[in-house]
Amino acid sequence: MGYGVVSFLDGFPESYNRQIIGPGRFHCRMDRPQRSPAPDITDHWQMFFDGLLNINDASAGILFVSPNKDKLRYVLRILFPVSNNVAEYEACLHGIRLAVELGVKRLYVHGDSALVINQLNKEWDITHEKMDSYCKEIRK
């Protein structure tokens, strides 16, 4: 397992900026101080995802935090050639699928890829067909 996935699992959510954009929207970590307090999310699950690409392989880390603050961690190995952006999309997509399987009804999604987050929120154009396919699948 690569360093990025290990640090991902160790670092979320305590060291994570928790600015929430709102229901049905995705969040990207920002390295600047928060300006307004985050809304009360005590009845929502939270999902943190991160894709990792290194020389030999790719993987994805997913962390769920329940409303009771219980944590579920998942690490997925990606067994086909991918770019870093595809690894990020795979992490998000599989996290959403896991949330459905867990029966999660309310979920805030957090990720550290500006490209993935902004494309999912329709704030950035999608110029690659594969990324468009990921966005459509995640938004279902």
> What pLDDT does residue 37 have?
52
Q: For the segment 44-99, what is each residue's pLDDT rounded down to a tens digit?
A: 999 999 999 888 889 999 999 999 999 999 999 999 999 999 999 999 999 999 99
Name every residue whose Cβ is closer than 8 Å to that of residue 71 and which is 6 or more positions away in sequence: 63, 64, 65
Q: CB of 61 within 8 A of CB of 9?
A: yes
Average pLDDT value for the chain:
77
Superfamily of segment(s) 3-139: Ribonuclease H-like superfamily/Ribonuclease H (3.30.420.10)
- pTM as predicted: 0.70
